[in-house]
Copies of this chain bind each other. A is one copy, B any other.
């Protein structure tokens, strides 16, 4: 009679291999983007900004070490990729993948909420 192995709950991981807190898609999304900066970088990408210096130039003033850290996380998760800068220089820019572009409805819903419920905000700032 084969004895039962102790059944340890299978550890769930996201696409980057990080452990998930739960199988909830919202929790999983927050494990990737749940901080004060990540979605602002993605906003900037939607605005057509693509270079490190562009992100640092946004009015919120993200610290450069945080920016580097977040860009790496977004790369690991396949939300952005690096591509040759369009100005023909040797430098690289960042670009949203399909997975990253799919965040547009999230950004728009958050922007709409901010516009409606926080009177001191204005559309398309940042």
Contact = CB atoms under 8 A, between A and B. Distances in A.
Copies of this subunit:
2
A125 B102 CA distance: 21
A21 interface: yes
A10 to B, nearest CB: 9
A113 B120 contact: no
A54 interface: no
Interface residues of A, number: 51
B24 A60 contact: yes
A22 B61 CA distance: 9
Interface of A: 12-15, 20-31, 34-37, 39-40, 43, 58-61, 99, 102-103, 105-123, 125-126
